[in-house]
Amino acid sequence: MEYRTLGTSDLKLSAITFGAWAAGGWMWGGTEQNDAAKAIQSAFDYGVTSIDTAPIYGMGHSEKIVGEAIKELPRDQVQLVTKYGLRWDATDGEFYVNSKDNNGKDISIYKNASKKSIIKECEDSLKRLGTDYIDLYQIHWPDVTTEIQESMEAVAQLIKDGKVRYAGVCNYSVDQLKEANTYVDVISNQVPYSMVNRGIETDLVPYTLEHNMSILAYSPLQRGLLTGKMKAGHVFAEGDHRKGLAFFKDENIKQTAEFLDKLKPLAEAKNASLSQLVLRWTIEQPGITIALAGARNAEQSISNAKSIDVKLTTDELQFINKALEKVKLDV
């Protein structure tokens, strides 16, 4: 495994970090707790020491699974990355979305990054994770009802109290990142990025490179679209959030599959899967420090971890990028 330092901190994460959204079941059609825990432990055996989760993933379920999974692991060798700012158990803040929990119960989710809410969420996360500190604590989504100053100063206090090591953000624009960084040292921004979703290259990547901040790329496999396993007409399970998303329109699936077909000879030459090739490409891109890769069982997590063994030359990266230029998804 490769380990990369976030920003100017001394926090190192595994270049492939375990993404625990799907492990929580919410919006992914349920989960099997034992399989998810084994996935985390198996990833650790292959050098994936960093785990990204959030309270909203299964309404605390993902964090509990992570907490159970790391009980047998040395805490000082595990980096716990979690979030705050999405509440399903209170109605203060900005309404975000109506959803259902893992039991099918209707819930309403609110963005709330007030100081009071952050302090409570941190305590709840520490209990679920079974730890006394969080390595990287990130706002999940911008909250228009709370000043950025209030949110960041709350995290700064948690850092001072020893409950959080470093502050990060998710889904922040350059302007929001600039403001946040005036109140606390923000070392990273977690944003969506994949071969077919590269909008951040215009402004966010140049800014973070200039200011020595890190980008944690989520959905690098575009939620399964870039695995090579999806065909037009794919039927999603009940409760799977991907149903109806623009990326998964038949024409987009078809076009992506045609692009991936061009990569198959390269993947085969590397003795790698398409997913492994895609993950390796992702962490080779300028400004991308970490790729978050989700898994719901040990087989998937080991496969993700082994993507680090794929080596791509400059010519091979150029070949991939040239093939990508012809992909024009309707999203």
Confidence of residue 223 (pLDDT cuts 50, 70, 90): confident
pLDDT digits (tens, 9 = 90+) for 153-182: 999 999 999 999 999 999 999 999 999 999
Q: Crossing angle of helices 115-129/61-69, nearest 10°? A: 40
DSSP 15: S
Distance CA 315, CA 146 (A): 47
DSSP 28: B
pLDDT digits (tens, 9 = 90+) for 112-159: 999 999 999 999 999 999 999 999 999 999 999 999 999 999 999 999
Distance CA 63, CA 28 (A): 16
CA nearest to 39, candidates 55, 60, 26, 21: 21
Known catalytic residue at 172: no
Q: So what's the pLDDT on residue 24?
A: 65
Strands (E), 121-160: 134-139
CB 114 within 8 A of CB 84: no
By three-state DSSP, how is residue 101 classified?
Answer: coil
Cβ neighbours, 10 Å, residue 278 = 27
Cβ neighbours, 10 Å, residue 222 = 24
- How far the first Cα of the chain sits from its last, in Å, is 34
Measured CA distances, 268 to 50, 137, 276, 314 (Å):
28, 39, 11, 18
Distance CA 191, CA 152 (A): 18
**Dihedral (C-alpha) 302, 306, 307, 312: value to the nearest 10 degrees?**
-170
Q: So what's the pLDDT on residue 213?
A: 97
Distance CA 107, CA 154 (A): 27
Catalytic annotation, pick one of 3, 46, 57, 193 = 57
Q: Name which of 4-8, 29-33, 46-50 the model is least confident about.
A: 29-33
Task: Give the tokens for residue 34.
Answer: 């034992």
Is the pTM here over 0.85, yes or no?
yes
The domains of the chain, with CATH numbers, are 3-224+273-311 (3.20.20.100)
Q: So what's the pLDDT on residue 26?
A: 55
pLDDT digits (tens, 9 = 90+) for 4-20: 999 999 999 999 999 99
Residue 236 has pLDDT above 80, yes or no: no
Distance CA 220, CA 230 (A): 15
Distance CA 238, CA 264 (A): 31
